[in-house]
């Protein structure tokens, strides 16, 4: 019996979306290795037994075909301590693969684990298969998903992070032998003093405008907007839809708008229903942040700009002419 | 205050990645080169810290290091133009993996150190490996924080000053809409994200310094790793030829109809 251990993250409602995707990825690996099972590791203050959150996580784990659910009781986020705990749990389960979503925390903890053990850690994978005890074939993203790499890993145990945007979350459809709700098994790691010396303090969530990452509509402006003033109409349009303002890196580098609004590989990744790219050329690093939009409209003076090949709809024209005219019509409708 | 900043040379790919005919690498014949925006911010952050220390009468210097081809000297010079003062080039003849890279950097940091602060980008733009900084921290037995969007150095102890005993660092980042902060004593490793600052444009004297900068290079023998690339490919995105709604303001009625059909208008 071999196991694939997945580090998952949760919020008040249960497993976060990227973790479900990571579990889906791990299940694919387990299924391909006939005898393998998926174990899940939760680190944090999850009360075991009965409590609502524990029950939600237990149910979701069962739905996703997880065989066992391990909880490391721990207060707060200390990356090194989390990695130590994950590694010890993996050893105790004789896991031959350890997986986490490629989130900030998932990547950080897995990198620490690799550094502790000296093992290779392969980032942003979305397909994996095993051939022989020490050989893994991996498919992973480079350049934020603009380039795909096929690679071989020679290792007894694989440490992988998952490119979650490439794997849709899928629960097991057929009824499984697993119970409807998995019991949480507590696991106590042996931590050294230094493991908790770097620990996060969380400040309360800031109430503010619509968060860019979760906005349903994003109206984005690029260098083609022409200057700071041009963003006034972009702001008004975004507000009209109850959405958020996005920008390209050209705009943040010029100091026109803050980096918190930047969409892309080194900015925020957005997944709106509608993405309006106004005066944005469509560099791959920008697209890396908005290609999951359901519908994309591009407004650009250049009909041959790369964005035109990636958008669903296009307007060829000057943003400073099209957007004010659009806003006027929308306002007139009330 | 001695700071080491590590950067990686990458091609400045724009609208689409083009591979060489054998598919083995990115065709860079038509491309310029740069470093990740995260790393550009790391250089800027280091320069600002040293400037602040100097303003208080202390001393400090920024060393910028890269592991890469001889041409990566250009990226070191770019950092000098922003205010770095020393350049180290660990010359390699092919792409290195994260473990070997971290070992080479840690070795160099030991020899040229001690450094009070080691700055990295959060992840390299090309490989996105997310681990060199963390591995270097483990090898040097230093604390590490990653993905930092705000860094402040505070004197440790009442009598301390930035110029005297080593300060403590307070580092901020975002996690799912919440701000996380970390306190750690120097020396430490910090990996930063774009947005921590807005890098300056190189000044004319800066560019003059960059031209004259001495690059301390050292050729390294290839260190293989357990991970090896088999092939690269550009993902096939359906080139959705965008449906043209119209030109200029004349397109507005079509735009409004589209927004309506998407259910976005009340
Ligand atoms: C490692 C790396 C990471 C990066 N990360 C990011 C990132 O996270 N996000 C990001 O956005 N970029 C990122 N970039 C930068 C990216 O490569 C581009 O340089 C950037 O996205 C260009 O921004 P832009 O489209 O606004 O500007 P440009 O490329 O200059 O395009 C401006 C567009 O506006 C059009 N235009 C001009 N005037 C008008 C007008 N009046 N009306 C309508 N259209 C007009 C032009 O035709 C052109 O298409 C990164 C680069 C690197 C190397």
CATH at residue B180: 3.40.50.620
Of A283, A310, A322, the CB nearest to B249: A322
In a domain, B262, yes or no: no
Contacts of residue B260, Cβ cutoff 8 Å, sequence gap at least 6: none
Is the predicted pLDDT of residue A25 greater than 90, yes or no? Answer: yes
How confident is the model over A97-151, as pLDDT tens digits?
999 999 999 999 999 999 999 999 999 999 999 888 889 999 999 999 999 999 9
**Cβ–Cβ under 8 Å, residues A12 and A94:** no
In a domain, B35, yes or no: yes
CB atoms within 10 A of CB B178: 13
Share of chain A above pLDDT 90, in %: 75
Greater pLDDT, B94 or A202: B94
Contacts of B139 in chain A (CB under 8 A): 115
**Cβ–Cβ under 8 Å, residues A22 and A100:** yes
In a domain, B224, yes or no: no
In degrees and rounded to multiples of 5, residue A143 shows phi and psi of 50, 45
In a domain, B238, yes or no: no
Mean pLDDT confidence for B27-44: 96
- Asked if residue A319 has its Cβ within 6 Å of ligand 1, the reply is yes
pLDDT of residue A208: 57
Give one DSSP letter per residue of chain B, joined into a string.
-EEEEEE--EE---S---B-TTSSSB--TT--EE--HHHHHHHHHHHHHHHHHHHTT---EEEEEEEE-GGGHHHHHHHHHHT--EEEEEE-SSPPPHHHHHHHHHHHHHHH---SEEEEESS-TTT----HHHHHHHHHT--EEEEESEEEEE-SSSS--TTSSPPEEEEEEEETTEEEEEEEESSEEEEE-TTSS-PPPPPHHHHHHHHHPPEEEEE------SEEEEEEE--------PEEEEEGGGGHHHHHHHHHHTT---
pLDDT of residue B160: 43
Query: Closest by alpha carbon to B197, among B109, B102, B119?
Result: B119
d(CA A14, CA A12) in angstroms, rounded, equals 6
Contacts of A284 in chain B (CB under 8 A): 13-17
Contacts of B177 in chain A (CB under 8 A): 205-206, 211, 213
Cβ contact B226–A154 (<8 Å): yes
Query: Closest by alpha carbon to B70, among B223, B229, B220?
Result: B220
Nearest CA to ligand 1 atom 26: A222
Q: What's the CA-to-centroid distance between A213 and ligand 1, angstroms? A: 19
The token duo for A137 is 């074939």
In a domain, B124, yes or no: yes
d(CA A325, CA A328) in angstroms, rounded, equals 5
- A113 min Cα distance to partner chain B (Å): 10
Smallest CA–CA distance from A110 into chain B, residue = B131
Q: Which helix (H) or strand (E) holds A27?
A: helix A17-32
Is the predicted pLDDT of residue A46 greater than 80, yes or no? Answer: no
Which residue has 């050209």 as its token pair?
A250
In a domain, B203, yes or no: yes
In a domain, B118, yes or no: yes
**Cβ–Cβ under 8 Å, residues A7 and A159:** no
- Under DSSP, the state recorded for A309 is H
Interface test with B, best of A322, A324, A332 (most B CBs within 10 A): A322
User: Coil, strand or helix: which one is A18?
Assistant: helix
Greater pLDDT, B265 or A139: A139
pTM of this structure: 0.94
Nearest CA to ligand 1 atom 36: A224
- Under DSSP, the state recorded for A203 is P
How confident is the model over A219-240, as pLDDT tens digits?
999 999 999 999 999 999 999 9
CB atoms within 10 A of CB A203: 10
Interface test with A, best of B121, B180, B200, B241 (most A CBs within 10 A): B180
Is the predicted pLDDT of residue A207 greater than 60, yes or no? Answer: no
Is the predicted pLDDT of residue A3 greater than 90, yes or no? Answer: yes
The token duo for A240 is 């009209």
Mean pLDDT confidence for B35-50: 98
Contacts of A155 in chain B (CB under 8 A): 226
Q: How confident is the model at residue B239 (pLDDT cuts 50, 70, 90)?
A: low
Q: Which domain holds residue B49?
A: 2-219
| Mean pLDDT, chain A, integer | 92
Contacts of B38 in chain A (CB under 8 A): 266
- Asked if residue A269 has its Cβ within 6 Å of ligand 1, the reply is no
In a domain, B234, yes or no: no
Of B139, B226, B247, the CB nearest to A317: B247
Is the predicted pLDDT of residue A9 greater than 90, yes or no? Answer: yes
Give chain B's domain count.
Answer: 1
Q: How confident is the model at residue A206 (pLDDT cuts 50, 70, 90)?
A: low
pLDDT of residue A54: 87
- Asked if residue A322 has its Cβ within 6 Å of ligand 1, the reply is no
Smallest CA–CA distance from B131 into chain A, residue = A111
Q: Write down all domains in chain A, each with its CATH number in brackets.
A: 3-186 (3.40.50.620), 217-333 (3.40.50.1220)
């Amino acid at each position: 019996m071999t196991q694939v251990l997945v580090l998952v993250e949760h919020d008040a409602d249960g497993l976060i979306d990227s973790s479900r995707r990571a579990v889906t990825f791990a299940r694919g690996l387990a299924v391909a290795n006939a005898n393998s099972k998926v174990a899940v590791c939760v680190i944090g203050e999850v009360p075991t037994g009965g409590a609502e959150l524990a029950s939600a996580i237990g149910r979701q784990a069962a739905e996703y075909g997880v065989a066992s659910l391990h909880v490391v009781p721990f207060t707060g986020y200390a990356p090194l301590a989390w990695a130590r705990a994950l590694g010890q749990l993996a050893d105790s389960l004789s896991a031959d693969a350890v997986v986490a979503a490629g989130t900030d925390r998932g990547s950080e903890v897995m990198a620490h684990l690799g550094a502790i053990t000296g093992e290779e850690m392969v980032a942003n994978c979305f397909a994996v298969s095993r051939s022989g005890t020490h050989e893994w074939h991996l498919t992973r993203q480079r350049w934020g998903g603009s380039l795909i790499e096929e690679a071989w890993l020679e290792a007894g145990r694989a440490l992988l992070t998952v490119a979650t945007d490439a794997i849709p979350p899928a629960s097991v459809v057929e009824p499984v032998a697993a119970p409807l709700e998995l019991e949480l098994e507590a696991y106590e790691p042996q931590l050294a003093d230094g493991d908790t010396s770097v620990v996060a303090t969380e400040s309360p969530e800031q109430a503010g405008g619509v968060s860019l990452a979760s906005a349903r509509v994003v109206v984005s402006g690029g260098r083609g907007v022409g200057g700071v003033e041009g963003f006034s109409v972009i702001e008004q349009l975004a507000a009209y839809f109850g959405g958020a303002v996005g920008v390209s890196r050209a705009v943040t580098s010029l100091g026109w708008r803050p980096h918190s609004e930047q969409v892309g590989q080194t900015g925020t990744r957005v997944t709106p229903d509608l993405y309006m790219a106004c005066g944005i050329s469509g560099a791959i690093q920008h697209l890396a942040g908005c290609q999951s939009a359901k519908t994309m409209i591009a407004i650009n003076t250049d009909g041959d700009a790369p964005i035109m090949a990636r958008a669903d709809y296009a307007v060829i024209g000057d943003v400073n002419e099209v957007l004010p005219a659009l806003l006027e019509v929308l306002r007139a409708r009330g | 205050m001695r700071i080491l900043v590590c950067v990686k040379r990458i091609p400045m790919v724009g609208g689409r990645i083009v591979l060489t005919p054998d598919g083995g690498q990115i065709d860079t014949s038509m491309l310029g080169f740069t470093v990740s925006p995260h790393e550009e911010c790391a250089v800027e952050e280091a320069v600002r810290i040293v400037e602040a220390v100097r303003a208080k009468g202390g001393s400090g210097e920024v060393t910028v290091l890269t592991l890469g081809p001889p041409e990566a000297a250009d990226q070191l010079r770019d950092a000098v133009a922003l205010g770095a003062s020393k350049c180290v080039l660990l010359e390699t003849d092919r792409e290195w993996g994260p473990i070997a890279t971290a070992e080479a950097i840690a070795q160099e940091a030991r020899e040229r150190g001690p450094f009070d602060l080691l700055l990295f980008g959060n992840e390299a733009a090309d490989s996105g490996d997310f681990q060199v900084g963390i591995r270097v921290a483990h090898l040097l037995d230093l604390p590490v924080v990653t993905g930092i969007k705000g860094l402040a150095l505070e004197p440790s102890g009442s009598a301390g000053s930035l110029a005297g005993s080593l300060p403590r660092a307070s580092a901020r980042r975002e996690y799912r809409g919440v701000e996380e902060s970390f306190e750690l004593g120097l020396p430490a490793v910090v990996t930063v994200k774009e947005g921590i600052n807005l890098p300056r444009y190189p000044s004319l004297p800066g560019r003059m310094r960059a031209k004259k900068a001495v690059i301390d290079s050292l050729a390294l023998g290839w260190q293989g790793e357990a991970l090896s690339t088999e092939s690269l490919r550009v993902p096939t995105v359906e080139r959705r030829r965008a449906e043209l709604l119209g030109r200029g303001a004349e397109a507005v009625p079509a735009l409004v109809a589209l927004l309506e059909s998407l259910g976005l208008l009340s």
